[in-house]
Structure 1
Amino acid sequence: MQTRRRLLQTAGVTASFLLAGCSSDEPTATETDTSTETPTDTETASPTPAGPTAVALRDRTRAYVERLVDGEYTTAIEEYEYTDAVTQQLDAATLESVWTTQTEGLGEYVEIATVQSATQQEFLVTDAVVRFTGGRVIIRLVYDDAGRIAGIQFPSAGTYSPPAYADTSAFTAQSLSLDTGDGCTLPAELTLPTGDDSVPGVVLVHGSGPLDMDSTVGPNKPFRDLAMGLASNGVAVLRYGKRTSACNVDPAALSLDATVTDDALTAAATLCEQERVSRTAVVGHSLGGMLVPRLLARDDSLAGGAMLAAPARPLVELIPEQMRYLLSLDGEISDGDERRLASVEETITRIRNGTLDAGERPFGLGGPAYWQELQAYDQVATAGDLDRPLYFLQGERDYQVSVERDFGRWQETTPGRFDAYPSLNHLFVSGEGQSTPNEYFRPSNVAEGVTTDLADWVRGETGGY
C-alpha cells in the first residue's frame, strides 16, 4: 500500500517536479470555489493554457472527489481522462487503496469545503479540501493543458517538531514489538527516564481509527508529545501502533475488544515486565479514554487510569452532534445538510437495533460486532465500580467531546481528579476561537501543562496500587 501511495503522489514526472515543496497546511492555489452550485466560465480570471477554464476544472475536481466519497472508483477511472504516465500506474483498485488510506479514521464525510486552483507553468493545480467529522484531507489534482489528470497528490499538512518541553537528556527510547498471539505484531516504543531508580509507567491507548503509535493526525503526533513530556518528568511510557494500522486485518470483522482492549492489555503486561517499572497505569484519549474503565475492570494489576477527552455518553449520541456542528460552521444548515443528518440518524437507528449488514462499517469505525460491544458497554457504570484512582482531562474548545454533557457528567457521577483547559481542543493543542478540523492540520504540540499534570498524577496518586 505504501508503494501505491508513492506512485500516486508522484504520478507523472513533470507533475511531481512541479509540485515539489508545495505541500503545506493550506492549499497554495489562488482562485477558490466554495459554492455547491455550478459556476459560469465568466467567474474565472484565466483559463489554463489552450485548455478548459479554471472554473471548469474546479468543477471537474469537485465531481471527481464526489466519486471517491461515494466509492465509485471504477467510474472515476472510466469517466476521466488521464495522461499516459498516470494511466500506466492507476486503476480502480489502486485509487480505492489510496483514498481509503488517506481518509480512514477521519469519521463521517461532511462536505467538500473548498476547491482552489492556480496555474503553474503549463499545468492547472486544483486543491479540494474535504471535511470529515474527525478532520479533513486535501486532495490535489494536476491537469495538463488538455484537461487530462497528470498527477494526484495528498499534500502534507506541515512538519512535526518535538515540543520545547521535551528534555531528550532525561530519557531514552527503545523500539519494541508486541506479540498479540494471533499473528499480528505491533510496533511499539518504550520511553524510559534515565537512571537506575524505579519509575511509574503508563500505556497510551488510542482513539478511534487506524492510528500509529504516535496517534498521528496531520502533522501532529500527540502520543509522541505525551511520551516525551511524561518521560522528561520521570514517567515511563509505552506506546504502540494500533492493530488496524499495523496489521493486515479487516476492521469490519473485528470486535471492540479485538480492535482496542485486548492489545492495550497486552501492552500493559509488556510494560509491567520492564525491570525498572514499579507500577503501570493506562492513559486513554477519546475512545481510548472511554475504554479506560473497561481496561481497569479487566486487569486488577493496573494502578489507575487517566481519561483525556473521554465521552461519558454513547458514541451514537456524539456522532450526530459532531456532524451538525460541522455542517453549521458556515452559518446555516441547508436542505442537503438536513438530508445528510437524516441519513446519519438512520444509520444510528440501525446500530441501536442491531440490524447492520455483515461487512458494514458505519462512520469508518467498526462492523456489527464492534458496535454491539460498544452499545453494551456503560463506561460510567463501569467506572463507578472501580476502586482505583481516575483522572479526567478535558479541553474546553473540544467540539468532539462536550465539556457540559461528557466532562460534566463524569464530574457528577465519578470520583476522581478533574482538570479542564480553556484554550485546548480535542488533541489538547492550544488555539483560539471556534474549534474546527483545520486546527488538527496545523503543526503544534500537546500543551505542556497537560504533560506535567499527568506526570504529577501518575507519580502522586497511583503509588498505593
Structure 2
Amino acid sequence: MRKVEADALEVIELAGAGRFAELAERFTPRMREVVSAETVRVGWSVQTGGAPCTPGVPAAEATTEDLFRVRTPVSCPAGDFVVVMSLDPAGRLHGLRLAPLAEQVWQPPRYAKPGRFTERDTGSGTLTLPRGAGPVPAVILLPGGGVQDRDGTHGADKPLKDLAWGLASRGVAVLRWDKPMPEHTLTEEYVTPALTAVQEMCQEPTADPDRIFLLGHSLGGKVAPRVAAASPMIAGLVLLAAEAMPMQRSAQRVVRHLAARDPGPAADAMIAAVDRQVATVDGDLGPDTPAADLPFGFPASYWLDLRGYDPVRTAAELGRPMLILQGSRDHQVTVADDLALWRAGLRDRKGVTIRVVRGADHVFHRRGRHVTGAVIRRIARWLRSAG
C-alpha cells in the first residue's frame, strides 16, 4: 500500500473514532481557513448516522506532481459512501469530501414513463419536455443546500430526477441544474442561476411562458420566494420540505437529533461545537468572521445575507399561488417548527394549499427509494389548476 493510501485510512479511522481535532491537525493552512474540526464532525455524523463504519481499500491517483486524490469506499449501515481526499506526500489534507458510491445505479420509478417525454442537456442543466403539442406548464427545480448536481444525487437516490421524470410523464416541462457550493450569498447560489433558468424556459416553445413555476426543496424552498420576488415571469411556487426557521437553528436541530441516536461524549462535543457556531451567527457576526467558526463552514457574507431574509413574509407579499408539502417523518425540516411558521404567516392568503404527506421523509420517500407517487400526482394536478 502506498503511503498516501495509508494516510487516507488513518484519516478515516480518526473520523470513525470521533477524534476530529486530531484529524484537523492534518489540514493545510488554507483548508483550516474554511473547514473546522466541528464541520467535519457534523458532516461525518450526518453521513453515518453515528453508526460504526468499515473502510475498504483506498485508491490513489496523482493529480499534480505533489498532490494525490485518494478515494476510499466506506461500508456503513446508514448507506455506503466514498471518502475523497486530496493529500500531499507528507500526509497533509488539501481537500476532503464525502461522496456517493459511483457504482450505485438509479432506477426509474414506476410512475416515470420515458416514452412520454424527451430530455436534452442545456450545458448547465437538463430540460425534460413532454411529447406532443404544447404549451404546457413548466417548473424550474431549486435544489437543497450545499453542492447539488442536477439530479440531487445521493448514492442511488436521485429525488430531483424522480420529480423531473414523474412530472414530465404527466405533461409538465421541467428544468433542473447543477448547483455549486455556496460562496458568498443566496444571490450567487440560487437567485442568479434560477433567473437564468427562467429565461431559458421562456424561450422553449413547448413551455407556456405564463405558467412557469418554481419548485424548491429544503433550502431551495426557503429561497424560492426571494427568486419569485425578483421575476414577474414566475407564476407560482411549489415548496417541498421548505425551511422557514433560521438556517442556523435548523443546523442545531439536526445535530441534536443525530446526537440523540448515538449519545455519548462525542455527541455532546458535537452539540457544543454547533452551539458555539450558532452563537457566533446570532451574536458578534461580522464580515471578517472566519468561515471555520460558522455552521457548515459557510462564509460570514452568507450568514449576514440570511439574517435579513424572512421567507414566510416574502412569500406572503408575493400574491401568487403556492403549494406547500411537508413530510410527517422529516427530522430535518419539521411540521412542528417549519410548517407551523408557513401556516401562521400564510393563513390569510388565498391561493395557498398546505398539505402534510403522511409517512414521508425529507426527500418524500415513503417505503421505497423514490419520491412517492402521491407527491408527483398532487403537484401535477395543482400545476394544472393553478395555471
Counterparts of residues 162-241 of structure 1 (less than 5 Å): 162-177=108-123, 187-241=124-178
Counterpart of 2:289 (choices 357, 374, 382) is: 357
SS at match of 1:243: coil
Q: Distance in 2 between matches of 1:117 and 1:359?
A: 29
What CA distance in whole angstroms lies between the structure 2 residues aligned with 1:307 and 1:107?
26
| 1:61 to partner: Cα distance | 5.5
| 156-165 or 370-379, larger mean C-alpha shift | 156-165
* TM-score normalised by structure 2 residue count: 0.77
Shift of 1:273: 1.5
- What percent identity do the matched residue pairs reach? 29
**Which one of the candidate residues 286, 296, 301 is aligned to 2:218?**
286
Match of 2:357 among 421, 433, 449: 421
Contact 1:280-1:302 at 8 Å conserved across structures: yes
Aligned residue number for residue 373 of structure 1: 305
Q: For the residues of structure 1 that align with 2:331 and 2:41, how far apart are their CA atoms?
A: 14
SS at match of 2:255: helix
Partner of 1:338: 268
CA 204–60 in structure 1, closer or farther in 2 if over 3 Å, else same: closer
Residue 62 (structure 1) aligned with residue 20 (structure 2): no
- Distance change (3 Å), C-alpha of 1:155 and 1:200: closer
Q: Distance in 2 between matches of 1:106 and 1:199?
A: 46
Relative to structure 1, the CA distance from residue 221 to residue 155 in structure 2 (aligned partners, 3 Å threshold; closer, same or farther) is closer
* 1:266 Cα offset (Å): 1.1
Q: CA deviation at 1:159?
A: 2.3
* Counterpart residue identity of residue 113, structure 1: A
The secondary structure found in structure 2 opposite 1:190 is strand
Structure 1 residue 116 displacement after superposition: 4.2
Write the deviation string for residues 335-366 of structure 1: whole angstroms up to 9, x where unpaired: 44223212211101111231462454733362
Once superposed, which parts of structure 1, at least 4 consecutive aligned residues long, lie more than 2 Å away? 58-76, 104-113, 115-119, 125-131, 135-140, 153-159, 333-340, 355-366
Q: Unaligned 5+ residue runs, structure 1?
A: 1-7, 13-57, 77-91, 120-124, 141-152, 178-186, 245-250, 432-442
Q: Which string of whole-angstrom CA distances, capped at 9 and with x for unpartnered residues, describes residues 135-178 of structure 1? A: 984659xxxxxxxxxxxx9755832101111111111101112x
Letter in 2 for 1:287: L
| C-alpha contact 1:129 1:136 (8 A) present in aligned 2 | yes
The amino acid of 1:223's aligned partner reads L
| Distance (whole Å) between structure 2 residues aligned to residue 360 and residue 106 of structure 1 | 12
Distance in 2 separating the partners of 1:106 and 1:205:
27
Cα distance in 2 between the residues matched to 1:107 and 1:360: 13
Q: Helix, strand or coil for the counterpart of 2:366?
A: coil
Equivalence for 1:430: 366
**8 Å contact 1:114–1:128 — kept in the other structure?**
no
Tell me, what secondary structure is at the counterpart of 1:291?
helix
Q: Deviation at 1:401?
A: 0.5
2:235: which partner in 1?
303
Could you tell me whether the CA contact under 8 Å between 2:150 and 2:179 is conserved in 1? yes
Matches within 5 A, 1:14-413: 62-63=13-14, 69-70=20-21, 72=23, 75=26, 108-110=43-45, 113-116=51-54, 127=74, 129=76, 137=81, 155=101, 158-177=104-123, 187-244=124-181, 251=182, 253-278=183-208, 279-330=211-262, 333-353=263-283, 354-355=285-286, 357-360=289-292, 362-364=294-296, 366-413=298-345
Deviations 1:187-230 (A, max 9, x none): 21110010122101010001101100001112100111100000
Q: 3-state DSSP class of the match of 2:51?
A: strand
Counterpart residue type for residue 424 of structure 1: A
Provide the C-alpha distance between the structure 2 equivalents of 1:384 and 1:60, rounded to a whole number of angstroms: 48
Contact 2:277 2:293 in 1 (8 A): no
Residues of 2 paired with 1:276 and 1:107: CA distance? 44
Question: Structure 2 regions of 5+ residues with no counterpart?
Answer: 58-71, 85-98
Which entry has the higher C-alpha Rg, 1 or 2?
1
Partner-residue secondary structure (3-state), 1:328: helix
Across the aligned residues of Structure 1 and Structure 2, the Cα RMSD in angstroms comes to 3.6
- Alpha carbons 2:243, 2:333 under 8 Å: kept: yes
- In the aligned structure 2, how far is the partner of 1:174 from the partner of 1:242? 18
Query: Which of 351, 375, 378 is the matching residue for 1:450?
Result: 375
Q: Is the 8 A contact 1:117 1:126 kept in 2?
A: yes
**CA displacement, residues 299-318 of structure 1 (integer Å, 9 cap, x when unaligned):** 11200000000012111211
How many positions carry a matched residue from both structures?
339
Structure-2 change in CA distance of 1:380 and 1:75 (3 Å): closer
SS in 1 for 2:337: helix
| Aligned-partner SS, 1:254 | coil
